[in-house]
């Protein structure tokens, strides 16, 4: 991580992804504001992957005890709530759009 | 990113991550249009499944039981809550999920810090110490702020903006503490006393609470959207901490798109984001604009369902103005039934949909669509306002703030400047309301005291059903 080139690479990825994020949302009808918010919410649920990585690192460090293990499990739990709940609730919101389409 | 097994996985893993990221971006793209929105969400789900499968493979079975507990517990809580939640409570549910994500980012930093402490290391790499402390701060703000937003929307606590003397001072002290402790953490490369780290954590949580408290309940969807992009940013920075590209990309993607969405939402209410966040909505005059407006509505006229039924049946044009009250009472099918009765009698019917009626944008559209209201009868703000001057009866069903003429003509009103539905321009206005309680923004509505306005008190569904029966009997 001290490698400057590596840091530059990560920063490049970071900045480019920000531009993509700005561009991918355009002229969204108000009807879709909430489902879209909910979907982006689910996508940052990827944090659960980070929680898993850090839990593995904790166990590998062999310096673990009950309290930290519980904190790590809590991190995974929170991340999983974000991911699974986020997608499920978005799906439920969007089901209401289908009802309209199906009728036609 | 050190895959535990052979070189096959070492190549496959980043490629699969790339596929997952592409699916997220395509998913968001398809979510821009109602016709393809579901497909977009499905794509993102597939992307997430791929990304998580890769991560799980890379663990090599280490800590498998801890991960299993977390995923099963979190997954079942998330999914069960998503299934059980009422449609009216969607926005606060999103707030909770978002808060969980922010909390996870903060807890990752805590675990990393503890691992560092116990490793007996001399100091943290500067990039890791900066990203650790920043993702912890932003994640904690998002976590605590989301919980306050949830409590406000769930009406566990008052939706009114909460202000108190010296608020600015308190916030300044908290912010200063965060800056000082955060800087200390980075400068000392993580070797500051342990209490310093946990005071920093507590201060960041407090900042999240203080940030959302002064914002009114009606503005919560905007706040949730902003906190959503905060969590995205926290996740991106946690990606730097963990040297994980997947987190960096997904986090910044959400941080950026969430910001655009937040700005769009404030625009839909004709206000700037800064105005939403810092005007302490509802405390513009430094305290009591609600009381200053009229001292509470007194001169309201109540009518019976039979009177209203006659008025409706012999009208030539009737406009329905649905709001949160219709959503709570699940009255959309009853409203459709009443509209059908009226149309049978040759009455022209339309529905006036305010962009922020209800508790989330598009709330009314989905409810009325569920009741099979024809799409062409749903008029947006401008179309509806063109109709009201020639409308005989405007039937306001559980909507309040979005019809408040004070937004048009009382510059001191906290909602002044918000575009409203001009129902007061209709010849007659019938307001269906449970009680004289003020609306979600916590301000009085002068509409109720106008000469052409009459109130029909009661649960929206019961009232509308009563009207339908009365119209049928005529």
- The per-residue pLDDT for range B10-23, each reduced to its tens digit, is 789 999 999 999 99
Mutation site, A24, A43, A102, interface B, largest B CB count within 10 A: A43
Q: Which of A78-92, B335-349, B421-435 has the highest mean pLDDT?
A: A78-92
Contacts of B105 in chain A (CB under 8 A): 47, 50
Residue B279 has pLDDT above 90, yes or no: no
Average pLDDT of chain A is 87
Is residue A104 very low, low, confident or very high in pLDDT (cuts 50, 70, 90)? very low
Contacts of B256 in chain A (CB under 8 A): 17-22
What mean pLDDT comes out for the span A41-45?
95
Domain co-membership, B305 together with B454: yes
Domain edge (last residue) among B84, B107, B124: B84
Is residue B332 very low, low, confident or very high in pLDDT (cuts 50, 70, 90)? confident
Percent of chain B having pLDDT more than 90? Answer: 42
Residue B1 has pLDDT above 60, yes or no: no
Distance between CA atoms of B109 and B131, rounded to whole angstroms?
9
Residue A88 has its nearest CB partner, among B40, B44, B79, at B79
What mean pLDDT comes out for the span B93-101?
95
Phi and psi at residue B91, to the nearest 5°: -60, -40
Question: Is residue A12 within 8 angstroms of chain B, CB to CB?
Answer: no
Domain co-membership, B201 together with B240: yes
> If DSSP codes are grouped into helix, strand and coil, which group holds residue B394?
strand
Domain that holds residue B75: 1-84
**B363 assigned to some structural domain:** yes
Q: Which residues pair with B350 in a beta bridge?
A: B319
Residue B239: closest CA among chain A residues belongs to which residue? A50
Residue B100: closest CA among chain A residues belongs to which residue? A78
* Lowest mean pLDDT, pick from B59-63, B76-80, B245-249: B59-63
Q: Between these two residues, B159 and B247, which has the higher pLDDT value?
A: B247
Burial of residue B3, with CB atoms counted within 10 A of its CB: 0-12 exposed, 13-18 middle, 19 or more buried: middle
Domain co-membership, B100 together with B242: yes
Domain co-membership, B210 together with B254: yes
- Structure pTM? 0.76
Dihedral sign, CA of A40, A41, A47, A52? negative
What mean pLDDT comes out for the span B200-216?
92
Residue A56 has pLDDT above 80, yes or no: yes
Residue B286 has pLDDT above 90, yes or no: no
**B364 assigned to some structural domain:** yes
pLDDT of residue A1: 46
Q: Between these two residues, B259 and B291, which has the higher pLDDT value?
A: B259
Contacts of A102 in chain B (CB under 8 A): none
Please give the structure tokens belonging to residue B382: 């401008």
Distance between CA atoms of B8 and B58, rounded to whole angstroms?
12
Helices (H), B85-212: 90-119, 126-153, 167-187, 194-212
Q: What is the ipTM, given to two decimal places?
A: 0.92
Number of domains in chain B: 3
Domain co-membership, B225 together with B298: no
pLDDT of residue B282: 40
Residue B345 has pLDDT above 80, yes or no: yes
Distance between CA atoms of B463 and B386, rounded to whole angstroms?
27
Domain co-membership, B105 together with B245: yes
Burial of residue B74, with CB atoms counted within 10 A of its CB: 0-12 exposed, 13-18 middle, 19 or more buried: buried
Distance between CA atoms of B371 and B326, rounded to whole angstroms?
12
> Which are the catalytic amino acids of B?
401
The crossing angle, in degrees rounded to 10, of helices B7-30 and A4-24 is 30
Question: Is residue A70 within 8 angstroms of chain B, CB to CB?
Answer: no
């Amino acid at each position: 991580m001290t490698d400057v080139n590596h840091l530059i690479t990560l920063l490049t990825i970071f900045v480019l992804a920000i531009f993509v994020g700005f561009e991918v949302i355009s002229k969204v009808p108000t009807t879709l504001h909430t489902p879209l918010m909910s979907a982006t919410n689910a996508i940052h649920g990827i944090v659960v992957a980070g929680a898993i990585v850090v839990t593995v690192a904790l166990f590998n460090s062999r310096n673990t005890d009950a309290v930290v293990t519980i904190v790590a499990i809590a991190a995974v739990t929170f991340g999983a709530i974000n991911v699974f709940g986020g997608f499920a609730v978005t799906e439920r919101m969007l089901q209401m759009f289908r009802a309209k389409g199906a009728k036609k | 990113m050190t895959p535990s097994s052979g070189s096959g996985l070492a190549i496959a893993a980043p490629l699969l991550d790339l596929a997952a990221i592409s699916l997220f971006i395509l998913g968001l793209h398809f979510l821009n249009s109602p016709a393809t929105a579901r497909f977009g969400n499905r794509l993102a789900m597939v992307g997430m499944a791929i990304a998580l499968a890769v991560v799980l493979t890379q663990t090599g079975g280490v800590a498998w039981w801890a991960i299993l507990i977390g995923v099963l517990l979190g997954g079942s809580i998330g999914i069960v809550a998503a299934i059980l939640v009422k449609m009216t409570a969607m926005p606060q549910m999103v707030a909770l999920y978002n808060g969980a994500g922010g909390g996870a980012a903060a807890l990752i930093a805590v675990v990393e810090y503890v691992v560092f402490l116990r490793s007996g290391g001399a100091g943290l790499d500067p990039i890791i110490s900066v990203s650790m402390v920043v993702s912890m701060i932003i994640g904690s703000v998002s976590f605590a702020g989301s919980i306050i937003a949830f409590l406000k929307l769930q009406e566990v606590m008052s939706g009114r903006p909460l202000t108190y003397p010296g608020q600015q001072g308190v916030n300044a002290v908290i912010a200063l503490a965060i800056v000082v402790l955060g800087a200390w953490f980075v400068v000392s490369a993580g070797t500051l006393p342990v209490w310093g780290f946990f005071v920093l954590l507590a201060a960041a949580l407090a900042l999240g609470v203080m940030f959302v408290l002064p914002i009114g309940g009606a503005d919560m969807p905007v706040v949730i959207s902003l906190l959503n992009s905060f969590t995205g940013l926290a996740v991106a920075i946690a990606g730097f901490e963990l040297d994980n590209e997947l987190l960096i990309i997904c986090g910044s993607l959400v941080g950026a798109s969430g910001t655009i969405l937040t700005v769009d939402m404030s625009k839909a209410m004709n206000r700037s984001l800064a105005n939403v966040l810092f005007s302490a909505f509802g405390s513009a005059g430094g305290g009591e604009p609600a009381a200053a407006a009229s001292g509470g509505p007194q001169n309201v006229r109540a009518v019976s369902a039979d009177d209203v039924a006659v008025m409706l049946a012999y009208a030539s044009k009737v406009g329905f103005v649905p709001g949160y009250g219709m959503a709570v009472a699940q009255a959309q099918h009853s409203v459709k039934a009443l509209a059908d009765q009226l149309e049978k009698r040759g009455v022209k019917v339309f529905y006036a949909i305010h962009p922020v009626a209800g508790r989330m944008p598009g709330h009314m559209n989905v409810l009325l669509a569920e009741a099979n209201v024809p799409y062409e009868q749903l008029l947006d703000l401008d179309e509806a306002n063109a109709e009201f001057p020639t409308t005989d009866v405007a039937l306001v069903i559980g909507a309040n703030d979005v019809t408040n003429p004070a937004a048009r003509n009382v510059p001191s009103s906290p909602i002044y400047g918000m575009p409203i539905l001009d129902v007061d321009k209709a010849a007659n206005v019938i307001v269906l309301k449970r009680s004289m309680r003020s609306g979600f923004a916590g301000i009085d509505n002068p509409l109720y005291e106008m000469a052409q306005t009459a109130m029909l008190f009661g649960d929206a569904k019961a009232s509308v059903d009563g009207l339908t029966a009365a119209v049928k009997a005529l």
